[in-house]
Structure 1
């Protein structure tokens, strides 16, 4: 298999999402690029489904001001 620049970029994006989904990510001071937010949502949804056994569980993110 030949690694193209596109494949390398995809591998990097996947690694970024996996790291962001981990528990210690916030401690690094980094933020995930907005273009990867839906990939993170899908990863968290996959983890929720695996953990709960609920095959139709859906994860959504909502951005805005915090609730009082």
Structure 2
């Protein structure tokens, strides 16, 4: 349980850092937030795809 909570904590921190790193420091704007949200969603989708592929490869490896 603690490992899962730690994983969630690290995930939130990483994607928060990606979002805040993408927003420019000129002040709040709709364009900046939209761009940052887009980059964060792409990064999250990539992480989800990687997790799915790792799970699939583990299952295929266990079938042999």
Shorter-chain TM-score bucket reads 0.3 to 0.5
TM-score by length of structure 2 reads: 0.37
Whose helix fraction is larger, Structure 1's or Structure 2's? Answer: 2
